Amino acid sequence: MFASFKAYFSDISYKGNLYFVALRRLFIIMLIFSLCRLLFLLFNLDFYPHLTTGGVLKMFLGGLRFDTTAVLYTNLLYITCYLIPFQFRYNEGYQKVLKYLFFVTNGIAIGANCADFAYFRFTLRRTTATVFSEFKNEENFGSLIPQFIADYWYIVLIWLALIAVVVLFYGKIRKPIIRKNFNDQLVYFLNGLVLMLISVTLIVGGLRGGFRHSTRPITLSNAGQYVKEPLEIAIVLNTPFAIYKTLEIESFKRINYFSDDDLEKIYSPVHHPVVADTMKRDNVVIFILESFGREYIESYNKHLLAEGYQGFTPFLDSIIGNGLFFKYSFANGRKSIDAMPSIIASIPMMVEPYITTSYSGNEINSIASILGEEGYHTSFFHGAPNGSMGFQAFSNVAGFREYYGMNEYPHSGGFDGMWGIWDEEFFQFFADKLNDFPQPFCTAIFSVSSHHPFKVPKRYEGVFSEGTLPIHKCIAYTDYSLRLFFEKVSAMPWFQNTLFVFTADHANQSFYPEYKTLAGGFSVPVVFYKPDGSLQCEVNDLAQQIDIMPTILGYLGYSKPFLAFGQNLFDESQSRIVMNYSNGAYNLFQNDYLLIFNGSETIGLYNFKTDKILSNNLLGTMPEVEQNMVLKIKAIIQQYNNRMIDNKLTLN
């Protein structure tokens, strides 16, 4: 048996080896996909007048990630048939079936790429799975295909030529053969099983876009890290990938609850600031603290002290005591990828995280793009491996000119073994970089350490209170890292002239019942701090992540119109609201009430301030309150969906 094992693996480099044959055939498709990207660019070159050679090279190399995923998805059945560890897979009839399966599946995928050579000009984005719903009710769909062939015959010819190339090179690759002396069926099966498991592991990594623990499955938005303009995302992507990644996503539907005039009266995301004499040139530093729910912060929970409440953020509490904070502040989503668009670009999570939708290539304005146009130096920091969570991609699309991740961290050590650089070390690096930046600057940093598996550096084991939840010691550690950061930067020349903003991406583990509710699950801090104490105030009102961008602009006295779904919290004339989405329903907080609306009817109404565990559904008892809130949430949904579909997230 051992001799058979040795014979099997000694044959692994043989050119007729089944696995190498499959890899060579898949490599043909990878080359075809790259050729399709080139043809796509050539057909639509007039949309990209500012391309550079370096930029194109970066996009083409980045596109290989998306091609790998798309090719693997396209050929999953083909690969599965190859991995079955039985000798009948060498039979001529079996190989012939696989050959035609390969031609058909890849032919369809290549055809999808080719179709976008022309269709892109109408949509300005790669075709997604929504194309199926868009045309499902077309009674003349059968005549559309012949018309497309007639109008774009040259694209059909290109498609047929590419298929011919695949057929030609497929035939030139030698068929897989098995060694004649390899007759031990059991050993053959065991060898094949081992290689199948190895292959499956590699395939999963290819489908996800990487192997790191912190890597989220690759999505359309990840293409943003390779481009300078959102429209360029279409170059990086390929059409099969865009379709596969949107098959399971509920697409936005155009909403017509109100006429355009009535809609603008009820709710509009367009901001027309009061013209200021001069705009402040204060620096802006935004801290997005991983998992820092309000539950962990004593300043928000004094009502729980009698129950033995313990906070874990003594330094952040000292900041809050000298800053402006809102007692009822919320996140607009429950995941880190929800937080980035909300905080940076005032785009809430509605139905699906913005950066995973087919509209993630839309033109947007953000705190970085707006202040960048005003001469601010802009940068984003995240101590995780570059590309993690898609933050690098989104920060690039949002207009941050510089990105600092684990790749840019200059020191050896400091890696926590899971997510990135420990907060203490990365915050110190952050401080040093800020001191080198020209003023004014606008920067944001996303922390990493207060995350599962909830560990702290070994030197701090036993130092911070364990609390009642595993995350508590991590919150305390990050808070301590903040203290060290401020001790360092307080002596720097730019410190006094800086607005600091603190929030969290989302809440996390909860101990108290009020934080285990629909409202409590979105509870995060929203804090504005100026070192001179000029913003010291506790506001007994609502705030949300999407308010951060317009509030910063309001504080600075920015006077140009812009689009943001949040509100300027310094503008007391506006009625405070909070919006988020959970479990198929839209949530609207207004005044003392939380309304839950499923898109067609109200399913809940609660006084979230007095009924902290949301046990008393007031549905039907307050018709005027309910009616006003339903009008508001419907207007928000209509503005959001229609602007997303029409690519009207800016005023350009």
Q: Is the pLDDT of residue 7 over 80?
A: no
Once rounded to an integer, what is the mean pLDDT over residues 407-425? 92
Mean pLDDT within 309-331: 97
Tens-place pLDDT, residues 504-532: 999 988 999 899 888 999 999 999 999 99
Can you tell me the distance from the alpha carbon of 241 to that of 243, in angstroms, rounded to the nearest whole number?
5
Q: What residue type is assigned to position 556 of the chain?
A: L
pTM of the full predicted structure? 0.79
Q: For residue 355, what pLDDT band results from cuts at 50, 70 and 90?
A: confident
- DSSP H or E run through 310: none
Q: Is the pLDDT of residue 487 over 70?
A: yes
Give the residue among 244, 266, 285 at the shortest CA–CA distance from 108. Answer: 244
CA–CA distance, 112 with 131 (Å, rounded to integer): 11
Q: Rounded to an integer, what distance in angstroms lies between the CA atom of residue 441 and that of residue 372?
A: 9
DSSP-based three-state secondary structure for 540: strand
Give 141-180 pLDDT, tens digit per residue: 555 577 778 888 999 999 999 999 999 998 887 766 655 4
Contact partners, residue 6, CB within 8 Å, separation at least 6: none
Decide the pairing of beta strands 283-289 and 498-504: parallel
pLDDT per residue as tens digits for the range 240-268 = 998 888 786 666 889 999 999 999 999 99
Nearest to 392 by CA among 210, 261, 169, 557: 210
Residues composing the chain: 652
pLDDT for 60:
96
Return the C-alpha torsion angle 610, 613, 616, 621, nearest 10.
50
* Residue where the block lists tokens 């007095």: 610
Spatial distance between the Cα atoms of 363 and 245, rounded to a whole number of angstroms: 20
Q: Residue 383 corresponds to which tokens in the numbers above?
A: 């101590």
In the CATH scheme, what architecture does the domain 263-645 have?
3-Layer(aba) Sandwich (3.40)
Does residue 231 have a pLDDT over 90? no
Distance CA(112)–CA(132), nearest Å, equals 13
Taking the CA of residue 597 as centre, how many other CA atoms within 13 Å lie in the half-sphere pointing to its CB? 25
Residue 349 confidence (pLDDT) above 60: yes
The pLDDT of 172-200, averaged and rounded, is 61
Q: What is the distance between the alpha carbons of residues 647 and 123, in angstroms, rounded to a whole number? A: 10
Judging by beta carbons within 10 Å of its beta carbon (0-12, 13-18, 19+), is residue 170 exposed, middle or buried? middle
283-289 vs 441-446, strand pairing mode: parallel
Q: Is the pLDDT of residue 1 over 50?
A: no
SS3 of residue 306 by DSSP: helix
Three-state secondary-structure class, residue 619: coil
How far is it, in rounded angstroms, from Cα 228 to Cα 232? 7
Beta bridge partners of 382: 446
pLDDT tens digits, residue range 379-399?
999 999 888 878 898 999 999
List beta partners, residue 378: 442
Q: Which phi and psi angles does 350 have, rounded to 5°? A: -130, 110
Go through 389-404 and write b for each residue having 16 or more CB atoms within 10 A of its CB, e for each that does not. bbbbbbbbbbbbebbb
pLDDT over 60 (residue 13): no
* Cα–chain center distance at 615: 34
Going by the DSSP 8-state scheme, the letter that residue 570 receives in this structure is T
How sure is the predictor about 84, in pLDDT bands with cuts at 50, 70 and 90?
Answer: confident
Which pLDDT score is estimated for 88? Answer: 66
Radius of gyration of the chain (CA): 28
For residue 307, what is the DSSP state?
Answer: G
**Helix (H) or strand (E) run with residue 242 in it:** helix 239-244
> What number is the average pLDDT over the span 292-318?
96
98 pLDDT exceeds 80?
yes
Cβ burial of 568 (10 Å; 0-12, 13-18, 19+) is buried
Omega within 30 of 0 (cis) for the link into 341: no
3-state secondary structure 389-448: HHHHHHHHHHCCCEEECCCCCCCCCCECCCCCECHHHHHHHHHHHHHHCCCCEEEEEECC
pLDDT for position 335: 86
Token couple for 530: 């100026």
CB 616 within 8 A of CB 559: no
Q: 30 falls in which pLDDT band (50, 70, 90)?
A: very high
* 461: CB partners within 8 A, 6+ apart: none
SS3 string of 138-161?
A: CCCHHHHHHHHHHHCHHHHHHHHH
DSSP annotation string for 487-520: HHHTTSTTGGGEEEEEEES------SGGGSSTTG
Helices (H) and strands (E) in the chain, counts: 20, 14
Look at residues 128, 174, 175, 181 and name the one whose alpha carbon lies nearest to residue 4: 181
Contact 348, 549 (CB under 8 A): no
CA distances from 542 to 280, 328, 340, 592 (A): 26, 5, 20, 9
Q: How many CA atoms lie within 13 A of 436 on its CB side?
A: 6
pLDDT band at 195 (very low <50, low <70, confident <90, very high): low
Cα–Cα distance list, 449 to 92, 126, 389, 414, 446 (Å): 56, 36, 15, 11, 10
Distance CA 114, CA 238 (A): 10
Alpha-carbon gap, residue 327 to 539, rounded angstroms: 6
- Domain spans, the chain: 2-244, 263-645
Burial class of 533 by CB neighbour count within 10 A (0 to 12, 13 to 18, 19+): exposed
pLDDT in tens, 599-632: 888 989 999 999 998 989 999 999 999 999 999 9
CA 35 to chain centroid: 28
Backbone angles phi, psi at 500, to 5 degrees: -105, 140
Residue with tokens 């729980």: 304
| Confidence bin at 205 (pLDDT 50/70/90) | low
Which residue did the predictor score with more confidence, 275 or 598? 598
CA–CA distances in Å: residue 579 to residues 113, 470, 576: 38, 29, 10
